[in-house]
Structure 1
Amino acid sequence: MATYVPVIGLEIHAELDTKTKMFCDCKNDPDEEHPNINVCPICLAHPGAMPTANKKAIESVIKVGMALQGDIPAVSKFDRKNYFYPDLPKAYQISQYDQPLVFGGVLKGVRLRRVHLEEDTGALTHENSKLQALNSKSDSSLVNFNRAGVPLMELVTEPDIRNADDAVAFAKELQLILRYLSVSYADMDRGQMRVEANVSLGKIHDGELVFGTKVEVKNINSFRAVHDAIEYELQRQRMVLEEGGEVKHETRGWNESSRETVSQRTKEEAHDYRYFPEPDLPPLDLSRFPLNDIKLSIPELPAQKRIRFAKEFDLSEPQADLLVSDPRLASHFEDSVSELMSEDNQNLAQEIKLLFNYLTSDLRGLMIENGIKFEELKITPENFADLVELISHNTVSSRSAKDILRSMMQTGADPHTVLKEQDLHQISDEEALLDVVRRVIETNVSAVSDFKNGKENALQFLVGKAMAELKGKGNPEVLQRMIRERT
């Protein structure tokens, strides 16, 4: 049986976060609910309407290229890519062909071929349920041109990826970088980032990899779909070859319902699009752009931040990865740690671990529960650090800390104010706890017997009973010691 080598390349599109569209002054608003509102003669391709390139979009792509170690040429230009589709009002797309904004680069060991800039298409609605809601016939399609002309970055890799897991890891890291650079939200669920995979099976001949016939897979709208579409396509091609057939050079689409790729059309080549220079836009002299300023604006990138967080804050690799997975989460963590470090703190290492746990578990859990985004969060890093110190100094119990955190989220108050208003000080004084401890021991004879017979979980049960009577304000360590001493 022949041994095949998976050969995978990715083409990733990302809508850029600019105020206006690529070639006109229409608002770039992905949240606009009403169709065909953000349109004008330019993005609707009325005769005589002349485009003007969006400088911010160009600078955003240059920024991405620099962050990915790509080369920025002296001159770049736009080209017309000619094809017809209902969501393309001009019957051509302004894109870039042989002189993109970025050549080369590398990410996660995968070489980049190019990064270029183009305009997005409109959005078509085919689904019957949506058509019925819009009082439209089920056999029709509707087009919304709000998205037409939105700046769209396309990144093309070399075929260096060898499995579906690495393809997903690459796409996730690129998404994160785009967010750290503040050039795109890159939300796949909202179509702001889309992945196409070029998949083939090669063979090793005389020590060299010989590529097989490439198939392009489209309609991939989630990281799970990236993985499953590539896995399916590799398996499909392997079966075709092992049965003596030939893989067709074609474009296939990922069907989310049937979890398979389906043939769409014969794969187009560059000459099919009849590229030629865009006559209404002059070539871009990139030396006139603030290249040095753009380079200096590149922040610490995810890979660098992971390494620094692990080293500086004594975090494990998964912990650092979790924090870095969201730029706002990483920023809140680091700003909160800075507050802990502002004074001579003897318990800093312990408090950093506490802060990590409460931030990634309790706070994030409350945010998800209440549908709150980081930009809407009322808890400042200073107040969050204060809460961690209250826990560290045994001023409040873990249960009370959760109650304080919930109040802080609702009102934005500092933890000391909440602590005082709700009387949540932790009780550590043995005399104040003694009556409760005695009562718990006397009324839970079976659990006391179990503990005496070596069942440690019975002790936790007794502590829980005491904490319930104290409404979560008792010091669990003191309660545990007192119960041990009296049983």
Structure 2
Amino acid sequence: MATTPITLATVLEKYEPVIGLEVHVQLLTATKAFCGCSTQFGAPPNTNVCPVCLGMPGALPVLNRKAVEFAVLAATALNCQVRERSIFARKNYFYPDLPKGYQISQFDKPLAEHGYIDIKTAAGPKKIGITRLHMEDDAGKSLHDGLPDSADKSSVDLNRSGTPLIEIVSEPDIRSADEAYEYLTNLKEIILYTGVSDCNMEEGSLRCDANVSIRPKGQEQFGTKAEVKNVNSFRFIKQALDYEILRQFEVLESGGQVKQETRLYNSNEGRTYSMRSKEQAHDYRYFPEPDLLPLVVDTKWRDEIVSTLPELPEARRKRMIAEYGITDGDAHTLTLTRTMADQFESAAKQAKNPKRVANLVQGELIGRLKAKGLEIEQSPISMNGVAMSADLVEAGTISGKMLKDLYDLAFERGEDFPAIYEKEKPQQISDTGALEKIIDEVIAANPKQLEQYRAGKKTVIGFFVGQVMKASKGAANPALVNELLTKKLEG
């Protein structure tokens, strides 16, 4: 990179990025794509293997029906057209973690095509096309460290070999790293809702390769692309794409030509490095897999599969906004995961005021979960507990301050809200006589602030409210305090 800093804004004045993404998603089946071996992650190396996934001569693959159902579910959720008849093919190449010497994939007749994902951009909504979604089996994993005898050796773990995958290939419709990030975020969210994968990038359940090029503005022909591989987070993919756009700009502006190549991203350095030239890449010599019949997903089977598809995030947001009167921001937060959405709806249907439940989830629950590093499933306060707390505040039984204190105790002790409330039983003071006594004492103790209020500085009432709440240890009914204070101060 040049020593003089070049910004993306400078690049975008003259060039347009063109980005396409290839996303591999491991399907959450109990067994592998073409054999009965377990797909369990973290098993001792080379223990979840058999002659089929080891590529032993004469071993014959048998297609996993559940993998097909999961692939059809994902394709439908991504608005793809599912083919009635698709063909498995052998993708031939040699690599140490591919014991068969080929990968069982799909080539010219994939399972599904012509889908799309809607994303939000600064310019408004945008559709990103999906060229195809096809099935394949995963390779093993090469390990380059952790060997006791020599750091110069590598080993291979074939537990992952044969795990069912879907590959989702986007159209080159993405025009910025921000759009790529939005596309991947929406894709992951949709896949998680379907339940076909856990999309755990750390465990390799979701992997993404990015193809990126730039072209002069107004030019229809694509520029020469570079492929960026092995990026293990969406944030790093965004950083890698931004770097590549800047790198290619500098190459072209200096009179050079961008090479068609595969590059690796180094997250520590924030830059990509050349891995290999695409001109020297293998010819995969695809041909139909002779050991597998064509995959036929007829209308009856497809309808049975699609009938299990849950309500997807965007549709659910729209319905929740209409049904519970919550904002678009509320709906977005509450549908980030299917579990959170399910639990919120369970609580909202019980509570008197669903909007208050939404506010408590966002304002009180999620913040505490993040601070503790917990997921919604690990929350000590259940959604039933949130609903109960919302109703107590709604009825004026407890104040907002009491609720915060009870939530803190629940997280501290690891107990649900109903149990904490039953033990503590705080009661909000709504007795007019008791509150007037406290108010009189507060006013008498603060003559200067009383003088300021009566001189026209009405905002001082906030000071008095705070003092009354402090004197009552947060137990006073805030609405009643405001009403009584106004009368006293005006009198």
Q: TM-score higher than 0.5 here?
A: yes
- Partner residue of 2:330? 319
Amino acid at match of 2:481: L
- Partner residue of 1:185? 198
Equivalent pair of 2:20/2:173 in contact (CA under 8 Å): yes
Paired with 1:19 and 1:126, the residues of 2 have a C-alpha distance of: 28
Matched, 1:164 2:177: yes
Distance 1:463 1:135, change over 3 A: farther
Q: CA deviation at 1:459?
A: 4.6
Matched, 1:430 2:441: no
Equivalent pair of 2:84/2:299 in contact (CA under 8 Å): no
Residues 8-40 of structure 1: per-residue CA shift (max 9 Å, x gap): 11111111111112222222223x264333333
Secondary structure, aligned partner of 1:160: coil
Q: How does 1:89-168 map to 2 (within 5 A)?
A: 89-108=99-118, 109-126=127-144, 131=146, 135=148, 137-168=150-181
- Partner residue of 2:232? 221
Equivalent pair of 2:407/2:417 in contact (CA under 8 Å): no
Equivalent pair of 2:428/2:476 in contact (CA under 8 Å): yes
Distance 1:447 1:423, change over 3 A: farther
Distance 1:450 1:57, change over 3 A: farther
Paired with 1:6 and 1:35, the residues of 2 have a C-alpha distance of: 42
Secondary structure, aligned partner of 2:94: coil
Equivalent pair of 2:381/2:410 in contact (CA under 8 Å): yes
Matched, 1:279 2:290: yes
TM (norm. structure 1) is 0.86
Moved more, 85-94 or 386-395: 85-94
Paired with 1:231 and 1:225, the residues of 2 have a C-alpha distance of: 10
Secondary structure, aligned partner of 1:318: helix
Matched, 1:200 2:206: no
- Partner residue of 1:345? none
Q: CA deviation at 1:287?
A: 2.1
TM (norm. structure 2) is 0.86
Amino acid at match of 1:266: S
Amino acid at match of 2:289: E
**Unmatched segments (≥5 aa) in structure 2:** 1-10, 119-126
Paired with 2:88 and 2:114, the residues of 1 have a C-alpha distance of: 18
Q: CA deviation at 1:449?
A: 6.6
Q: CA deviation at 1:454?
A: 6.6
Secondary structure, aligned partner of 2:179: helix
Amino acid at match of 1:337: A
Q: CA deviation at 1:413?
A: 5.3
Amino acid at match of 1:274: R
Paired with 1:426 and 1:368, the residues of 2 have a C-alpha distance of: 29
Distance 1:86 1:462, change over 3 A: farther
Distance 1:138 1:474, change over 3 A: farther
- Partner residue of 2:5? none
Q: CA deviation at 1:266?
A: 1.1
Amino acid at match of 1:354: R
Paired with 2:64 and 2:24, the residues of 1 have a C-alpha distance of: 17
- Partner residue of 1:48? 58
Paired with 2:334 and 2:108, the residues of 1 have a C-alpha distance of: 39
Distance 1:474 1:182, change over 3 A: same
Paired with 1:259 and 1:321, the residues of 2 have a C-alpha distance of: 31
- Partner residue of 1:298? 309
- Partner residue of 1:243? 254
Matched, 1:65 2:75: yes
Distance 1:21 1:136, change over 3 A: farther
- Partner residue of 2:30? 19
Distance 1:459 1:214, change over 3 A: same
Q: CA deviation at 1:390?
A: 0.9
- Partner residue of 1:344? none
Q: CA deviation at 1:177?
A: 0.5
Residues 343-382 of structure 1: per-residue CA shift (max 9 Å, x gap): xxxxx6xx23211111122122333344443334465544
Residues 180-205 of structure 1: per-residue CA shift (max 9 Å, x gap): 11111213343321221111123467
Matched, 1:387 2:397: no
Distance 1:268 1:40, change over 3 A: farther
Secondary structure, aligned partner of 1:170: helix
RMSD (Å) for aligned C-alpha atoms: 2.9
Identity %: 39
Distance 1:202 1:370, change over 3 A: closer
Paired with 1:68 and 1:120, the residues of 2 have a C-alpha distance of: 22
Moved more, 447-456 or 463-472: 447-456
Distance 1:379 1:477, change over 3 A: same
Q: CA deviation at 1:444?
A: 5.7
Residues 48-88 of structure 1: per-residue CA shift (max 9 Å, x gap): 33322211111111111122222222222222222222332
Distance 1:484 1:150, change over 3 A: same
